[in-house]
Amino acid sequence: MTALVRAKPITGFFEDDEEGDQPRLARRFGLLHLTMLGVGATIGTGIFVALTAAVPEAGPAVLVSFVLAGITAALTALCYAELASAVPATGSSYSYAYATLGELPAFLIGACLLLEYGVSASAIAVGWGQYLNELLADTIGWRLPAAIANPPGAGGVVNLPAVFLVTMCLILLLRGAKESVLANTVLVAAKLLVLVLFVGIALMHFDPAHLHPFTPKGMAGIGTAASSIFFSYIGIDTVATAGDEVENPRRNLPLAIILSLAIVTAAYILVALAAIGAQSWTEFAGQEAGLAVILHNLTGAGWPAVVISAGALASIFSVLLTTLYGQTRILYAMSRDGLLPRLFQTVDEKQRVPRLNTWVVSGGVALLAALVPLDVLVNLTSMGTLIAFAAVSLGVILLRRARPDLQRSYKVPLYPVLPVASVAFCLYLISGLPADTYLMFAVWIVVASLIYFTYSFRTSVLNEG
């Protein structure tokens, strides 16, 4: 029982970039690239795709849902910032849990991260196909056949656009982390400009009558919508997965987490307000490529919808790219600690990327995206994200008690009120998820526990000590 809660020493997270003959990840990211990594991993499916699913759940009050999700993310971001300044290592909440909660909780949280990243990436890839079809219809008047454009359960047989998107990201990630982050920075700038265009046009057609009644589904609807869209805030965790590849991580990690969240929350609320003001909330249900359709209906012209669809394609590409990146680094961190097979920590000597991880992650995501419907993926991702966020907030309290002397370049204000509030908000959003999500998540945790007790417990690096 003592071994199950053994914590990894803080000094164990800091190692030389070269360890014997084994290549390690290289420090190549500055504050700008790291902030754009967070924005790129966050602004995408949550506003381009999931908005049309969230509005029918809450009505115009989905604005409150976005605020509620944003407050939860903000509280968690402050906790992430403190732990990132104290333990600036690759692995994000998995590594933080290993330093505070112990090995078994850390392994289960690592399993939650692998779940949330993998399922989130699959949901993102599914949404990309919707905007691709809308762009094709607006430009050449043709759509992909439903059989190859949608997964089973959503009117199709296999989602080939999703597989194509994952393949493009795979090729870019294999070229190297620096090239991937540079491409992401360009894509983030493009999608922010597209969202500014949407907000500007939609606000010109703003009708206050669309905000009444404001809460047709009551508080239950607001909570349900907030729970379902929370998966889009996964970008906070993605920033923290880059710990071993960041220059001056004690300074840049906390700053990038807070800056990216501020940009993302402002963008989400503005776009949601403009969309609901421009179109009645009752028209959102079943509306694919929602933002593009809204502009087309408002202007009667084809070019705004074409621009939005193209921007959404670039946006969702960047989200998938950064999400796949984050998942490969979680695998790397768990393998380095001996909790997963050591081959997952193998780094390519030239490109300094975990090549095998990238192939495995991309293959799994492509399979899920091709065969599983979007709504199932979204709720399962929110569950994994919220569990990881709650663990980080709890970890702040535990590390303050266990290591008050530890160097921290940033500390959560109003301690311990804000970490406790963060945990409470996460638990509230978890309570709004549907029952089938709980069942699937429970199955995942049981499988993860079996892997730990039959393999990871014996192979852990801490056993060597």
Q: 235: which residues sit within 8 A by CB, 6+ positions away?
A: 37, 38, 39, 40, 41, 42, 43, 260, 261, 264, 322
- Residue 374 near residue 178 (C-beta atoms within 8 A): no
The token pair at 114 is 């692998």
300: left (phi over 0), alpha (psi -120 to 50) or beta: left
- Residue 48 near residue 315 (C-beta atoms within 8 A): yes
CB atoms within 10 A of CB 203: 13
How would you write the pLDDT of the chain (465 residues) with one tens digit per residue? 676 778 787 766 655 444 445 556 666 777 888 888 888 777 766 676 667 777 888 888 888 888 888 888 888 888 888 887 777 777 778 888 888 888 888 899 888 888 877 777 777 777 777 778 777 877 877 877 877 777 666 666 777 888 888 898 888 888 876 777 788 888 888 888 888 888 888 888 888 888 888 888 888 888 888 877 776 676 777 777 776 777 777 788 888 888 888 888 888 888 888 888 888 888 877 666 567 778 777 777 677 778 877 877 887 888 888 888 888 888 888 888 889 888 888 887 776 778 888 898 888 888 877 776 656 666 677 787 788 888 888 888 988 888 888 778 788 888 889 999 989 988 888 887 888 888 888 888 999 999 999 998 888 888 765
What do you get for the CA distance between the two ends of the chain, in Å? Answer: 17
pTM check: above 0.85: no
Give all domains of the chain, ordered by start, each with its CATH number.
27-464 (1.20.1740.10)
Upper half-sphere CA count for residue 230 (Cβ side, 13 Å): 37
Name the packing angle between helices 92-100 and 374-402 (round to 10°). Answer: 40
CA-based radius of gyration for the chain? 21
